[in-house]
Structure 1
């Protein structure tokens, strides 16, 4: 009985523990976790499908590069088969009858020389015997075809080939594969830079809209309070009724602006979630605000960094290398191909014509004419090389323009933000004074409304300028190939 009670208590305790764990897990999942911009970027790098796609492309090129190394090594092939003939192989003796007569004359002359005394031909010379036998054999009817009595036989051979000289083809192919691998690495970096720039832009937009919503909420709350004060003043017949109507319109406008920006914030959060590839069931929030930090920007230093690290220029460098190796491949077609080979024949005794067991040698091959195809391909490769060179010159100018435009934009946004700082402070003080004057019966309702709208407008303009400042810097750092450089300035 005690054991049963003990088991029931133990089971109840286990069930309660599981229930508590489930409730705790649900509570933890329901909590919004603040994600810094650096954490958001790591999530994007880890989860984004486009980055995964280009990672796979890099792995492809890694194995292509390894495959290109195999061209330097010998190839070893095993050739095997089975052959069946519907009839025996025949040797056409009519085409070798002269050779057979000559062979018979030589053997007959040799026989006479060796055994002439025994058969009574001791006085016959070897030359006479040979000519007589050849003449007699030539008068015989044609020899019948000789048959080889074997209509089925297996074949097997082990063949090794080692390239000795290919006119630079193998080296060019290896360098081409290496350039493709570097291009894949650079493309992966370019995609990461694009994702980083997109992440930073969307993260800053969410922070901006949070601040805008906060400002809208402050204005809306202030308008509600002002409307209540206007209602009391109208009830006490201190102010005419149209003042209350104006306050109600101001509240409606403030609520409309607040709702619009709440919708924009929701859409911006959805876009940010997409970039991070975060499931809808995982709640998160971004930093509540970003403070202004003045950054020193040296244009010449930025331009030098861009020329060294901009992925577009890196890709063109690799395209230039590939065009160079493609030209080398076309030139190699005008050079001989030399290779050493060796063959080991198996089942040689089963074959109608017995080959040697081992064969080794060197072969050379060169094309003499193929309809001018190689010459035209060579000319095409030369033009490709010039095309890439022109593309590189154009890219340098475009990168210079991109860095310069983003640099100027960042400086302008910085000046705009600094100029709006004083405007916001004055608008805030103006709102405080007009609100106080209205509460004391010395000011007008319209002055409070106008002051509130002025403060809202200047505050939002300042927030937009701050966002534009960091967006321009993010674009500038992306243009020079270092998009993550802005992260330490944005993080708290």
Structure 2
């Protein structure tokens, strides 16, 4: 009976079997899914090329590049505070009436002025005009009394209803209590912060790109496994159908095989849908138009990466963007305190002006004026002193933020380091499992073909192999993602690119 069964199995396994319509449709769908991009002459994009596309096309990165340019010009603008300010002032004035000098308000002054002139004249020329006996005091009092009896003076009219003014002025700060220097350092720190924020965004985009790229690679490999298992299940179902037709196996065996094919088909379809979403997410990160077809690497081999925790932690302390940003915040807080402190010191500046069209003005100013001016605030409602105290607390706040961030970076590096080691152990533990599951599947297939095994053994062996192989792929994906997160935590996310690309 065993020999007869083996002979029959060998015969019907060599005959071409009729493939069900559903299987043909499924194969067509799979072929279309895997060859649709090939027909559009797609090109393979390495993970390094994908990262370069993300850097060049990502809108978030473009936004922070513009921010860096903005802060660059603000830093240059802060340098202008050290240079003199030169202004050209000009204007046109029209008066409805001529300007009049109100003589009644200065009549006593004019009388006194006339008395002084009389006294001086008598003192100088009294003998020559026969007034040698008159004293200067007497001449002064007499003239003031006489002038006081006259009627009020008539207002003096300035005959000019319109005039043009123009002046060139220059101001050069000499001492501002350190405000200008502090402002320049503050602007420089803002520029440095903008560059660090750009690096931080690039690190985040790189980490996102690596994760999404690895997702697509993982799903491609998983789909290959699903496809392999599905085709094996279909073949096993066909073998079971032939064996039932030859009355070698009972009919209920076919039902279990059909269920296995349906499950394999469902898992395959599910992953085909997942890879479409994964590719869509990857395309979004690269900001690549839908009209440009692409594919990623077929697979990524395992590489044993040496990781030294102390070196990683020290690198994080020097290159982590978060800590670098806090360092710049410290600089800005210090300079903000210096600016508030400068408000308690005088502002000294030199100034000069050149007046044009001065002959046309009612009061003729000099051509040139130069001088030095100092200003200091005496009281403004305690506003400055309260702002000074607030700036001190801002410095302490930044110090506390740096201490907290350092602790969090330590925790982040340690957790990612531990996760990377765990993922490495998981992947290595699956190597033997996959090899054994593969050999177990081969033996059960052979036993079934020789009539020594059961259909359910082949199905279980296929599912076991599929499960162990997918778990191995997931562990490999988790291993590289854990290392990518670790390198991102220390501020070097691109380091994983070099490893994967090799």
Q: State the TM-score bracket (shorter-chain normalisation).
A: over 0.9
**C-alpha spacing 1:86/1:51, structure 2 compared with 1 (3 Å):** same
Could you report, residue by residue, the CA deviation over 1:376-427 in whole angstroms, capped at 9, with x for unpaired residues? Answer: 1111111111111111110001000110100000000000000000000000
**Structure 2 gaps, min length 5:** 1-36
Shift of 1:108: 2.6
- Aligned mate of 2:226, from 209, 216, 233: 216
C-alpha separation between the residues in 2 aligned to 1:114 and 1:262? 120
Does the alignment pair 1:51 with 2:61?
A: yes
Aligned to 1:208, what secondary structure does the other structure show? helix
More deviation in 105-114 or 298-307?
105-114
> Which residue in 2 is equivalent to 1:405?
415
C-alpha separation between the residues in 2 aligned to 1:337 and 1:112? 52
- Aligned mate of 1:447, from 457, 478, 482: 457
More deviation in 178-187 or 91-100?
91-100
Could you report, residue by residue, the CA deviation over 1:187-225 in whole angstroms, capped at 9, with x for unpaired residues? Answer: 000000000000000000000000000000000010011
Aligned to 1:176, what secondary structure does the other structure show? helix
Shift of 1:326: 0.8
Could you report, residue by residue, the CA deviation over 1:245-303 in whole angstroms, capped at 9, with x for unpaired residues? Answer: 11111111101100000100111011101111111111111000000000000001000
Does the alignment pair 1:351 with 2:361?
A: yes
C-alpha separation between the residues in 2 aligned to 1:50 and 1:489? 26
> Which residue in 2 is equivalent to 1:200?
210
> Which residue in 1 is equivalent to 2:251?
241
Shift of 1:100: 1.2
C-alpha separation between the residues in 1 aligned to 2:127 and 2:186? 80
Does the alignment pair 1:420 with 2:448?
A: no
C-alpha separation between the residues in 2 aligned to 1:116 and 1:450? 143
Shift of 1:126: 3.7
Does the alignment pair 1:159 with 2:163?
A: no
On the 8 A contact 1:90/1:145 being kept in 2, the answer is yes
TM score, norm. by length of structure 2: 0.90
Shift of 1:158: 0.6
> Which residue in 2 is equivalent to 1:144?
154
- Aligned mate of 1:318, from 328, 339, 356: 328
Aligned to 2:168, what secondary structure does the other structure show? strand
**C-alpha spacing 1:348/1:28, structure 2 compared with 1 (3 Å):** farther
Equivalent residues in 2 for 1:276-287, closer than 5 Å? 276-287=286-297
C-alpha separation between the residues in 2 aligned to 1:83 and 1:300? 76
Aligned to 1:79, what secondary structure does the other structure show? strand
Does the alignment pair 1:91 with 2:107?
A: no
- Aligned mate of 1:434, from 444, 451, 457: 444
On the 8 A contact 1:29/1:282 being kept in 2, the answer is no
> Which residue in 2 is equivalent to 1:293?
303
Shift of 1:119: 5.1
Runs (4+) of structure 1 exceeding 6 A deviation are none
Could you report, residue by residue, the CA deviation over 1:449-474 in whole angstroms, capped at 9, with x for unpaired residues? Answer: 00000000000000000000000000
Aligned to 2:165, what secondary structure does the other structure show? strand
C-alpha separation between the residues in 1 aligned to 2:277 and 2:126? 118
Does the alignment pair 1:303 with 2:313?
A: yes
TM score, norm. by length of structure 1: 0.92
C-alpha separation between the residues in 1 aligned to 2:125 and 2:310? 107
C-alpha separation between the residues in 2 aligned to 1:114 and 1:311? 88
C-alpha separation between the residues in 1 aligned to 2:467 and 2:112? 118
Shift of 1:102: 2.3
> Which residue in 1 is equivalent to 2:138?
128
C-alpha separation between the residues in 2 aligned to 1:354 and 1:429? 110
Shift of 1:143: 2.2
Could you report, residue by residue, the CA deviation over 1:40-62 in whole angstroms, capped at 9, with x for unpaired residues? Answer: 00000011011000000000000
C-alpha separation between the residues in 2 aligned to 1:283 and 1:121? 118
Does the alignment pair 1:487 with 2:488?
A: no
- Aligned mate of 1:40, from 44, 50, 59: 50
Aligned to 1:187, what secondary structure does the other structure show? helix
Shift of 1:106: 2.7
Aligned to 2:297, what secondary structure does the other structure show? coil
> Which residue in 1 is equivalent to 2:32?
none
**CA RMSD across the alignment:** 1.5
More deviation in 364-373 or 464-473?
364-373
Does the alignment pair 1:327 with 2:337?
A: yes
Does the alignment pair 1:66 with 2:81?
A: no
> Which residue in 2 is equivalent to 1:191?
201
On the 8 A contact 1:406/1:475 being kept in 2, the answer is yes
C-alpha separation between the residues in 1 aligned to 2:126 and 2:495? 108
